[in-house]
A and B are shown apart, each in its own frame.
Chain A
């Protein structure tokens, strides 16, 4: 454990001493945070990095005493916050005084802006209410200030947006509005819990720039929580790396990211995808396994009532050939239609025109969902889901989950044969055989995703759609799953359509890349071609926005690093 040695307490905004938190769970007492020491000075951006379950979010929440009910904070823990020349110990405050801290002195931004606004109250009213309570402003005054803030965080038509509801804004705008709300009370510390994780890369880059800019203008400190080291390298002055509730390494960002001292930090860095190691150009072009012919997918809007005249076009007139035995990356921002395209290949999205042809041993062709012989299609094409939690039935054992396609389609003649095939595929996917008796609640995200992959592969399909299959996973787990997919491609010769918003992952995994924008295929080619010679401006923009681990312009940050923590 590393304790930050420091001179002079008066320069600190926040001081966390020996913070320890236990969770009472079904599995017994879990040590979520173990004697963390952390301090943030005014104007500093502290990055808090760690994989899921490392305790970073709980640490942040404890600053506002927002820890969940089953969490117990150690008695000797201290969280000291400077407030008008006096030191508040947050953990000792009475509930009434906590409002000084919550939303006043300290504000918070969450990962899901949609979930953090009340859906039935106008955004502006929520911000006005906050300012009325904390700053004692009049309604009109607060409203003027709120609109100013909206302009400041770069929301166009601020006055109009101010009176809209949260569902009327796009993801990036929602997060900007959330930031505006967090800033409305002039906090000295902003806690940002994975604020850009749910956003597209280009939006993420904009939001990060905005946060850096606001720090310059307002001089507030930030505790920036993320699992993404690339994001950290862009934004943080200092970094604390957490593992299993402990702070394993603390220091200046450059130092930690480029000269890590702790093996865990090193491991995290090694697991990062690098786009500079692209595979060579393939020599021969394989036969297509799937060809998509002028496919269009439309969803009816406003689903209630008898008349369904309006449609949302997710994919329009798209033609594409997927080469056999390759991993094809399908990239694009949210709303580009990539998921609809992937699902339509499995017969799970409404095809309004066009045709999907599966070549190979058992050719199948369909141009309408009703035409699909579902069982025949299920034998050759399967899906790996994004969310490893929702996609496994929590009431079935792992064995039953993996055996589902075999049993549902009656592909085996006896229970023994089913078990044998389940065991074979589990071995291939590195699932311990003894775990087959367990229920999904025993597993972490990565292990669940292995189960999901095993279920998809158990009936020997030729083609798999992996829809954001690693998006919900930690980097080190992500690397393992990517390696597994590569290995399975090699061993089984399957074709994988890998849908992702993360270009760095695609660069690592795929042989071929297709870029989609607003329902259309705008560019495709080999990975090397796309990443080294992108033809379209949009592709260049996507690649440019990848938050890569890179050394920053020293001048921009030296103000905050000049008096950095001595190592």
Chain B
């Protein structure tokens, strides 16, 4: 509001007045704040997204094969302690883990190469999967956790076209000698915790790309259809229905085959997947937007704008778009988990991203390996994070939907 009106502002800003001058989003926020489950889920969601966004900073190890801890493959989670029989320490610590000597002389195998030697190796049990997970804990060799340590280098901001690449090597925590594995390691020695953090961001960014593509297509189809109505509406909606009846999995399969022939880098591949997911998913939202616009454009206030001499563009931008912006935000949030699920199910089927890319879908797919289910249950950590992420989205979306239309009860 400009200075002229500002002069008339009363000095007292009561809570009543702040309600009266509250815009749509302020009203939504105050209603959302009253939903405890939504607020809690919101905090969890925010934390997860931040962890994902700054994954390199929060990760103690490089999640790629470069950062694999060859001395601690298939290792169990390392427990953080403050106190043991050797005394209490303010600084949390873990122990040094080392591979027990299998008591088998590999050199004889290398030198002789006889079948007997191989037999002896097999029967010694050193090759058993469960045996490979066993590490000896040296309780006298503590590894103290340090904060803001320098470690592997990662890029904070990288724009290839401008030749900008800012690299950094600071991490939230780490240990002095070797690495720390909060959630254990996989068969290559890659840190499960670090991989999961990186996977969150990959998965969320696919979902964001997919939702933006979806939103653009639905806005275009739904908006045009709803505003113009009549024959345009009939044609566009039959097209939408036609897209809607195509089952999605075969389409994804076809796309996966097509993408495989294109020799894409993993990054390009994942954007391609996002675009496909988004473009095929516009039907439901597009139809709903159309219905919304159809009802909204017959509202008195739209007629009032027309009679005030407002142009079509002005009516759309000033009156119609704000009327469903909250709706779009809510719908997008509610749909987030479905898009993530679509990505994970594609990766799960082996059609989407594959190892060694870190995405929740890839990690989930990995977790179905019987070896992991029997011997490395800690690799279920990404599943827990995945469930938490989905639930957080669902609860936030639900609470937002209830809070979203502050004008729904105004007329009563």
The chain A residues found within 8 Å of chain B, CB to CB, are: 26-28, 346, 348, 374-375, 378-379, 382-383, 385, 387, 389-397, 399, 404-405, 408-409, 415-416, 419-420, 423, 433-439, 441-442, 452, 455, 459
Contact (Cβ within 8 A) B307 A378: yes
Chain B residues near A387 (CB-CB < 8 A)? 300
Contact (Cβ within 8 A) B306 A348: yes
**A440 CB to nearest chain B CB (Å):** 8
Q: Which of A390, A415, A433, A442 contacts B301 (CB 8 A)?
A: A390
Contact (Cβ within 8 A) A395 B322: yes
Mark interface residues in B293-314 (1 if CB within 8 Å of A CB, else 0): 0000001110111111111001
**B33 CB to nearest chain A CB (Å):** 12
Contact (Cβ within 8 A) A419 B310: no
**B124 contacts chain A at the CB level, 8 A cutoff:** no
> Restricting to B243-297, which residues have a CB under 8 Å from any CB of A?
none
In whole angstroms, how far apart are the Cα atoms of A27 and B410 in the complex? 12
**B167 CB to nearest chain A CB (Å):** 45
B22-30, B206-214, B392-400 - interface stretch = B22-30
Contact (Cβ within 8 A) A385 B5: no
Q: What residue of chain A has the Cβ atom nearest to residue B17's Cβ?
A: A438
Q: What residue of chain B has the Cβ atom nearest to residue A395's Cβ?
A: B322
Chain B residues near A420 (CB-CB < 8 A)? 4
Contact (Cβ within 8 A) A27 B21: no
Q: Given A26-B30, A391-B300, A433-B8, check contact A379 B20 (CB 8 Å).
A: no
The chain B residues found within 8 Å of chain A, CB to CB, are: 1-2, 4-5, 8-10, 15-16, 19-24, 27, 30-31, 299-301, 303-311, 314, 318-319, 322-323, 406-407, 410-411
Q: What residue of chain A has the Cβ atom nearest to residue B234's Cβ?
A: A304
Q: What residue of chain B has the Cβ atom nearest to residue A435's Cβ?
A: B20
Q: What residue of chain B has the Cβ atom nearest to residue A24's Cβ?
A: B34
Q: What residue of chain B has the Cβ atom nearest to residue A391's Cβ?
A: B300
Q: Given A389-B410, A390-B301, A392-B301, check contact A436 B306 (CB 8 Å).
A: no
Listed by A's residue number, 6 A-B pairs whose Cβ atoms lie within 8 Å are A26-B30, A394-B407, A405-B308, A408-B308, A408-B311, A408-B314
In whole angstroms, how far apart are the Cα atoms of A74 and B152 in the complex? 66
**B402 CB to nearest chain A CB (Å):** 13
In whole angstroms, how far apart are the Cα atoms of A435 and B309 in the complex? 25
Q: What residue of chain B has the Cβ atom nearest to residue A458's Cβ?
A: B308
In whole angstroms, how far apart are the Cα atoms of A434 and B10 in the complex? 7
In whole angstroms, how far apart are the Cα atoms of A452 and B411 in the complex? 16
Chain B residues near A379 (CB-CB < 8 A)? 309
Q: Given A26-B27, A416-B2, A438-B21, check contact A394 B305 (CB 8 Å).
A: no
Contact (Cβ within 8 A) B309 A439: no
Contact (Cβ within 8 A) B303 A348: yes
In whole angstroms, how far apart are the Cα atoms of A94 and B20 in the complex? 40
In whole angstroms, how far apart are the Cα atoms of A452 and B19 in the complex? 21
Q: What residue of chain A has the Cβ atom nearest to residue B26's Cβ?
A: A439
B309, B314, B318, B322: residue with the most chain A Cβ atoms closer than 10 Å: B309
In whole angstroms, how far apart are the Cα atoms of A385 and B299 in the complex? 11
Chain A residues near B20 (CB-CB < 8 A)? 435, 438-439, 441-442
Contact (Cβ within 8 A) B309 A409: yes
**A59 CB to nearest chain B CB (Å):** 16
**B341 CB to nearest chain A CB (Å):** 33
In whole angstroms, how far apart are the Cα atoms of A27 and B314 in the complex? 32
Contact (Cβ within 8 A) A395 B300: no
**B198 CB to nearest chain A CB (Å):** 40
Contact (Cβ within 8 A) A399 B306: no
Q: Given A387-B300, A419-B5, A433-B8, check contact A26 B311 (CB 8 Å).
A: no
Q: What residue of chain A has the Cβ atom nearest to residue B311's Cβ?
A: A408
Q: What residue of chain A has the Cβ atom nearest to residue B27's Cβ?
A: A26
Contact (Cβ within 8 A) A408 B4: no
Chain B residues near A459 (CB-CB < 8 A)? 308
Chain A residues near B411 (CB-CB < 8 A)? 389-390
In whole angstroms, how far apart are the Cα atoms of A346 and B307 in the complex? 7
Q: Given A393-B301, A441-B407, check contact A415 B309 (CB 8 Å).
A: no
In whole angstroms, how far apart are the Cα atoms of A368 and B24 in the complex? 39
Q: Which of B5, B8, B303, B308 contacts A378 (CB 8 A)?
A: B308
Contact (Cβ within 8 A) B308 A455: yes
Q: What residue of chain B has the Cβ atom nearest to residue A387's Cβ?
A: B300
Q: Which of A374, A390, A392, A423 contacts B309 (CB 8 A)?
A: A374
Give me the 9 closest cross-chain CB pairs, A-B, nearest first: A442-B20, A378-B309, A408-B310, A391-B300, A405-B308, A390-B300, A409-B309, A438-B20, A419-B4
Contact (Cβ within 8 A) A383 B2: no
Contact (Cβ within 8 A) A399 B19: no
In whole angstroms, how far apart are the Cα atoms of A437 and B21 in the complex? 6
Contact (Cβ within 8 A) A26 B322: no
Q: What residue of chain A has the Cβ atom nearest to residue B9's Cβ?
A: A434
Contact (Cβ within 8 A) A27 B9: no
Chain A residues near B5 (CB-CB < 8 A)? 399, 419, 423, 433, 436-437
Q: What residue of chain A has the Cβ atom nearest to residue B298's Cβ?
A: A390
In whole angstroms, how far apart are the Cα atoms of A27 and B406 in the complex? 12
Chain B residues near A404 (CB-CB < 8 A)? 304-305, 308, 310
Q: Which of A26, A383, A389 contacts B304 (CB 8 A)?
A: A383
In whole angstroms, how far apart are the Cα atoms of A434 and B17 in the complex? 10
Q: What residue of chain B has the Cβ atom nearest to residue A386's Cβ?
A: B300
In whole angstroms, how far apart are the Cα atoms of A338 and B300 in the complex? 17
**B399 CB to nearest chain A CB (Å):** 16
**B104 CB to nearest chain A CB (Å):** 73
In whole angstroms, how far apart are the Cα atoms of A468 and B411 in the complex? 18
Chain B residues near A423 (CB-CB < 8 A)? 4-5, 8
Contact (Cβ within 8 A) A375 B309: yes
Q: Given A390-B299, A390-B300, A392-B301, check contact A399 B307 (CB 8 Å).
A: no
Known A-B contacts: A383-B307, A437-B9. Give 4 more (CB < 8 A): A389-B411, A392-B304, A419-B4, A423-B8
Chain A residues near B30 (CB-CB < 8 A)? 26
Contact (Cβ within 8 A) A416 B4: yes
Q: Which of B2, B31, B301 contacts A26 (CB 8 A)?
A: B31
Contact (Cβ within 8 A) B1 A439: no
Q: Which of B1, B319, B407 contacts A437 (CB 8 A)?
A: B1
**A339 CB to nearest chain B CB (Å):** 12
**B7 CB to nearest chain A CB (Å):** 9
Contact (Cβ within 8 A) B306 A374: yes
**A136 CB to nearest chain B CB (Å):** 36
Contact (Cβ within 8 A) B4 A391: no
Contact (Cβ within 8 A) B303 A442: no
In whole angstroms, how far apart are the Cα atoms of A433 and B310 in the complex? 25
In whole angstroms, how far apart are the Cα atoms of A396 and B302 in the complex? 12
Q: Which of A395, A399, A415, A433 contacts B24 (CB 8 A)?
A: A395
In whole angstroms, how far apart are the Cα atoms of A459 and B308 in the complex? 9
**A302 CB to nearest chain B CB (Å):** 14
Contact (Cβ within 8 A) A391 B23: no
Contact (Cβ within 8 A) B319 A393: yes
Q: What residue of chain B has the Cβ atom nearest to residue A394's Cβ?
A: B407
In whole angstroms, how far apart are the Cα atoms of A393 and B23 in the complex? 12
Q: Which of B4, B8, B23 contacts A434 (CB 8 A)?
A: B8
Q: What residue of chain A has the Cβ atom nearest to residue B322's Cβ?
A: A395
Q: Given A389-B411, A415-B2, check contact A409 B9 (CB 8 Å).
A: no
Contact (Cβ within 8 A) B410 A441: yes
In whole angstroms, how far apart are the Cα atoms of A452 and B24 in the complex? 20
In whole angstroms, how far apart are the Cα atoms of A545 and B142 in the complex? 97
In whole angstroms, how far apart are the Cα atoms of A416 and B15 in the complex? 29
In whole angstroms, how far apart are the Cα atoms of A560 and B103 in the complex? 110
**A469 CB to nearest chain B CB (Å):** 12
**A100 CB to nearest chain B CB (Å):** 28
Q: What residue of chain B has the Cβ atom nearest to residue A384's Cβ?
A: B304
Chain A residues near B406 (CB-CB < 8 A)? 26, 441
In whole angstroms, how far apart are the Cα atoms of A392 and B306 in the complex? 13
Chain A residues near B307 (CB-CB < 8 A)? 346, 348, 378, 382-383
Q: Given A405-B309, A409-B309, A416-B4, check contact A391 B19 (CB 8 Å).
A: no
Q: What residue of chain A has the Cβ atom nearest to residue B315's Cβ?
A: A408
Q: What residue of chain B has the Cβ atom nearest to residue A416's Cβ?
A: B4
Contact (Cβ within 8 A) A397 B1: yes
A346, A420, A442: residue with the most chain B Cβ atoms closer than 10 Å: A442
Chain A residues near B410 (CB-CB < 8 A)? 389, 394, 441
